[in-house]
């Protein structure tokens, strides 16, 4: 059963286990350093058990209350269990919590009016010699886990594995390890799980981080060379029979950085080997019209483009932008998502395969095996970090040596860009189109943010409140579904809508329409 649980988190052999790294650490030593950014805050108390008693509640919850003290302070600890009629849920706890026993308890201390209290998460008797090696009076690892396996159990498994015979491949040459002052791979693996000091943890992290970037750099260089060796087998010509009327219809001038980005993209597309370029720009900087210019160059040469967005709502937004700028041009474009009718979808797929559609906009639907292109030469991927390598490859393989433009609104420092996206050339939109209001980014508490949102709503405007996940998980991350109920109570003077990716397409569309049509309102979403 334990093997099945480990399999759920991708652990099938000892190498998988040792490379399943902690997400954070807890310093359970006396006089601990809580300033370390890698450490999760936790309280540890060591003392002598003075008293223990069991409390029954009307809800079926049972509480074991214990009083522990040392020479400085007395603390009340509580352990909570669900009542079970078949057996005593506290039987093993009663055997350990005997007055006079010395014990370590782990949890969060809360100071109330009478005395400090702790909800006990883990405890270890001072007579447990093994505990000091794995769980207490040391820096301990905290892992990302799944249901059915506890942190204590995971530490036991990893500790035992580290003390068995194992070998993990080291990709970094010895001379480079010496040059970069890196500790050996085996030591790094051991100390990333169970460091004796903060310095050991820092050295282990530095070694493993360096190795990760080292492998990424090699992979990117291999990919870049492969791209340069590939040949498109055709040549674009800038005819301007679509590009010129498109520019005239826009109603505004391209910014300087948009012009430079378009020149970079066109220069790449005119080369014999495929383009691989990242277009970076803040929300509202005009990435879509830059990408649209590339699509028109392809269409002028009787080639097709695929424009992939991570969500149906974003794909719909791009489709509306295309309609706005291409409405009176001789070009065919369509939107394909999971929300369209089977009849419409079949019609779009047939037209795409015949080459009758110049630009196909969509979500993951674009990579379905049923979607085939007659002459795909350009793929554009919006919010590229939302797609995996496999998804991007599936789309690229629908054409032969296609040009690829990926877009992101996430600002990436140049050094990080070179490390993570070294196989891509970079274009950055640095200025905003005329008339765009500046974006203000403020870091504040949730309470102040909600107060500001209320001010905006009372002025007749709208507010988005964005959360990272749909439902709660074990990572203490706030979720849309849970926070939605709280938001409704806080903003009870205004309509509050919830939107997330698991909703049906028609439901999402209806919510967006309601949000757009109503006056001041709140959208709680992922």
Domain with residue 280: its CATH number is 3.40.50.300
One domain, residues 312 and 182: no
- Give me the tens of pLDDT residue by residue for the chain, a chain 526 residues long: 888 888 888 899 999 999 999 999 999 987 665 667 778 888 899 999 999 998 888 777 889 999 999 888 889 999 988 888 888 888 889 999 999 999 999 998 887 767 789 999 999 999 988 888 899 999 999 999 888 888 999 999 999 999 998 999 999 999 999 999 999 999 999 999 999 999 999 999 999 999 998 998 888 888 878 877 888 888 899 888 888 888 888 778 889 999 999 999 999 999 999 998 999 988 888 899 999 999 999 999 999 999 999 888 888 889 988 988 887 888 999 999 877 888 999 999 999 999 999 999 998 889 999 999 999 999 999 976 666 677 878 888 898 889 999 998 877 766 666 656 667 888 999 888 777 777 788 888 989 999 999 999 999 999 999 998 888 765 667 889 889 988 999 999 999 999 987 888 778 878 888 888 888 999 999 8
Contacts for 401 with CB less than 8 Å, ≥ 6 apart? 230, 231, 232, 233, 273, 274
Is 3 inside a domain boundary? Answer: no
DSSP 8-state code for residue 184: P
Instruction: Kindly report the backbone phi and psi dihedral angles of residue 81, in degrees, each rounded to the nearest multiple of 5, phi listed first.
Output: -140, 150
pTM for this structure? 0.64
Range of the domain at 450: 446-525
Residue at which a domain ends, from 142, 161, 191:
142
Same domain, 137 and 200: no
Shared domain check, 283 and 209: no
Residue 298 lies in a domain: yes
Q: Which of 186, 201, 229 is the last residue of a domain?
A: 229
What would you report as the CA-atom Rg of the chain, rounded to the nearest whole angstrom? 29
On whether residue 263 sits in a domain, the answer given is yes
Q: How far apart are CA 349 and CA 121, in angstroms?
A: 56
409 closest CA partner among 336, 314, 312: 314
> Residue 186 falls within a domain, yes or no?
yes
d(CA 405, CA 290) in angstroms, rounded, equals: 10
99 contacts 49 by C-beta, under 8 angstroms: yes
Query: Are 94 and 196 contained in the same domain?
Result: no
Classify burial at 133, counting beta carbons within 10 Å of its beta carbon; exposed 0-12, middle 13-18, buried 19 or more.
Answer: middle
47 touches 68 (CB < 8 A): yes
Token pair recorded at residue 136 = 């207490």
| Same domain as 255, residue 206 | no
CA distance 74 to 341: 68
Domain match, 249 and 331 both = yes
Residue 51 lies in a domain: yes
Is residue 237 in a domain?
no
Helix ranges (DSSP H) in 171-255: 174-179, 185-193, 198-229, 243-250
> CA triplet 343, 345, 350: central angle to 5 degrees?
100
DSSP annotation string for 370-402: T---SSEEEEEEESGGGS-HHHHHHHHTTSSS-
Show the 3-state SS of 252-320: CCCCHHHHHHHHHHHHHHCCCCCCEEEEEECCCCCHHHHHHHHHHHHHHCCCEEEEECCCHHHHHHHHH
Answer whether 295's CB lies under 8 Å from 327's CB. Answer: no
- With CA atoms as reference, report the closest residue to 275 among 291, 256, 259: 291
DSSP state of 205: H
Q: How many domains does the chain have?
A: 4
Does 112 reside within a domain? yes
In this structure, the answer to whether residues 388 and 251 fall within a common structural domain is: yes
Is-contact 252 433, C-beta < 8 A? Answer: yes
Q: Are residues 53 and 134 in the same domain?
A: yes
Q: Are 449 and 491 in contact (CB under 8 A)?
A: no
Cβ pair 210, 180 in contact under 8 A: yes
Whether residues 251 and 291 share a domain: the answer is: yes
Residue 199: which residues within 8 A CB-CB, separation 6 or more?
Answer: none
Residues 192 and 255 in one domain: no
Q: How far apart are CA 143 and CA 171, in angstroms?
A: 25
Residue 398 belongs to some domain of the structure: yes
Q: How far apart are CA 64 and CA 378, in angstroms?
A: 65
Whether residue 495 sits in one domain with residue 364: no
Q: Where is the domain boundary, 379, 402, 429?
A: 429
Report DSSP state, residue 452.
H
Pair (30, 91) in one structural domain: yes
């Amino acid at each position: 059963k334990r093997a099945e649980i480990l399999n759920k988190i991708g652990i099938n052999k000892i190498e998988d286990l040792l490379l399943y790294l902690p997400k954070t650490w807890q310093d359970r030593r006396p006089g601990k350093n809580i300033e370390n950014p890698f450490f999760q805050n936790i309280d540890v108390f060591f003392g002598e058990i003075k008293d223990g008693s069991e409390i029954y509640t009307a809800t079926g919850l049972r509480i074991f209350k214990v009083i522990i003290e040392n020479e400085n302070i007395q603390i009340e600890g509580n352990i909570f269990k669900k009542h079970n009629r078949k057996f005593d849920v506290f039987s093993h706890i009663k055997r350990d919590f005997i007055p006079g026993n010395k014990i370590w308890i782990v949890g969060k201390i809360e100071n109330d009016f009478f005395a400090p209290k702790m909800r006990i998460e883990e405890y270890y008797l001072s007579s447990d010699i093994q505990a000091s090696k794995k769980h207490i009076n040391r820096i301990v690892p905290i892992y990302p886990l799944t249901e059915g396996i506890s942190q204590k159990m995971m530490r036991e498994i990893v500790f035992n594995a580290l003390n068995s015979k194992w070998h993990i491949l080291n990709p970094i040459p010895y001379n480079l390890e010496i040059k970069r002052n890196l500790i050996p791979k085996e030591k790094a693996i051991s100390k990333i799980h169970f460091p004796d000091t903060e310095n050991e943890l820092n050295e282990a992290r530095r070694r493993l981080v360096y190795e990760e970037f080292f492998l990424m750099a090699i992979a990117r260089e291999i990919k870049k060379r492969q791209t340069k060796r590939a040949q498109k087998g055709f040549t674009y010509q800038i005819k301007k029979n679509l590009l010129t009327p498109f520019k005239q219809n826009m109603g505004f001038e391209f910014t300087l950085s948009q012009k430079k980005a378009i020149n970079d993209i066109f220069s790449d597309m005119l080369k014999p080997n495929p383009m691989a370029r990242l277009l970076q720009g803040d929300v509202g900087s005009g990435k879509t019209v830059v990408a649209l210019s590339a699509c028109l160059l392809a269409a002028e040469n009787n080639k097709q483009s695929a424009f992939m967005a991570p969500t149906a709502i974003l794909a719909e937004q791009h489709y509306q932008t295309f309609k706005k700028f291409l409405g009176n041009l001789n070009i065919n474009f369509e939107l394909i998502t999971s929300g369209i009718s089977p009849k419409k979808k079949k019609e779009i797929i047939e037209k795409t395969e015949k080459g009758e559609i110049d630009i196909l906009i969509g979500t993951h639907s674009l990579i379905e095996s049923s979607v085939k292109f007659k002459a795909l030469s350009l793929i554009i991927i919006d919010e590229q970090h939302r797609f995996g390598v496999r998804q991007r490859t599936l789309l690229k393989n629908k054409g032969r040596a296609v040009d690829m433009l990926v877009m992101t609104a996430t600002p990436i420092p140049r050094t990080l860009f070179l490390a993570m996206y070294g196989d891509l050339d970079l274009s950055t939109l640095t200025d905003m189109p005329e008339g765009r209001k500046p974006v203000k980014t403020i870091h504040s508490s949730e309470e102040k943010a909600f107060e500001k949102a209320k001010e905006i709503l009372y002025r007749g405007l709208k507010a988005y409140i964005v959360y990272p996940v749909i439902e709660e998980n074990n990572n203490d991350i706030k979720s849309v579904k849970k926070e939605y109920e709280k938001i409704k109570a806080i903003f009870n003077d205004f309509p509050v809508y919830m939107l997330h990716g698991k909703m049906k397409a028609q439901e999402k569309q209806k919510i967006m329409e309601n949000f757009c049509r109503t006056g001041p309102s709140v959208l709680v979403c992922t």
